[in-house]
Amino acid sequence: MQFTSEQRLDDGVLAREFTLGEIPGTLWTPGSAAPVPLVLMAHNNGLPKADSRLVARARYTAARGYAVATIDAAGCGDRPRSAAAEQIRAELRQAVQAGRPADELDELFESPVGPLVAQAVPEWQAALDALLRLPDVGGPVGDSGGWAALGIRLAVAEPRLVAAGFFAGGYVPRAQREEARLVTVPLLFLLQWDDQGNPRRRALDLFDAFGSKEKTLHANLGGHTGTPWFELEDGCRFLDRHLK
């Protein structure tokens, strides 16, 4: 892991850009020197790590006393894009905007998103290995991400993850819907009740499927990007209960 830049922010949070091989990432840590628990924060289905909503959540969580880390998925953010992948993205956007029926969209989403999740997992695990070697990053490790599909796969595959916060707002591939029952860590599931791009029934079924004995659903009105501000603190309270 190589740090390529650092910036001390107003609230004392230190933001550091890093690379791990070809993977670009960002690490935010609070002002303190002592090692703090680590929170992985992936953005939904490959949105870039520089997205303002992710950055705002990461900074808030870091200021609350956590190390927060994110990486760009392959073909996303600053990483090289293939023409084929760009073509598929364009088709997906058109299909969504054209209001194609849900089952057609499912098939369109399944082929790019499934492999994106599968490819991201070893990259996140490598990042986790490297991050836990840093002096100011301790354990335990939690997830507070906007990418439920990746979160599910990681929660099943990565024993170091002890608590998971997922956002129900992007396509979850069949394989992850089927393995949701294998997720057993304490879980907080965030749902926008009137998210036009996200079938509510499927999100509620997914919540029902999770195998965790301790699981909580928070649903709010406000549309896909309208998660109320108070959920930031609710999310941190969940992390406090399990990582501190």
**Which residues sit at the interface with a copy of itself, rule CB under 8 A?**
193, 204, 207-208, 212-221, 228, 230, 233-234, 237, 241
CA distances from 1 to 18, 23, 26, 133 (A): 7, 9, 11, 10
3-state SS class at 144: strand
Nearer to a copy of itself, 90 or 221 (CB): 221
DSSP 67-95: EEEEEPPTTSTTS---HHHHHHHHHHHHH
CB 102 within 8 Å of CB 199: yes
Looking at beta carbons only, is 158 or 234 nearer to a copy of itself? 234
Which residue's CB is nearer to a copy of itself, number 173 or number 235? Answer: 235
Q: Give every CB contact of residue 29 below 8 A, 6+ residues apart in sequence.
A: 13, 14, 16, 36, 62, 67, 68, 136, 137
Pairing of strands 36-40, 23-29: unpaired
Q: Are 160 and 137 in contact (CB under 8 A)?
A: no
Decide the pairing of beta strands 14-20 and 23-29: antiparallel
The answer to whether 31 and 62 are in contact (CB under 8 A) is: no
Give the nearer residue to a copy of itself in terms of CB position, either 95 or 204: 204
Cβ closer to a copy of itself: 175 or 209? 209
Q: Which is nearer to a copy of itself, 51 or 234 (CB)?
A: 234
CB 42 within 8 A of CB 153: no
Nearest distance from residue 36's CB to a copy of itself, in Å? 21
Q: How far is the CB of 236 from a copy of itself (least distance, A)?
A: 12
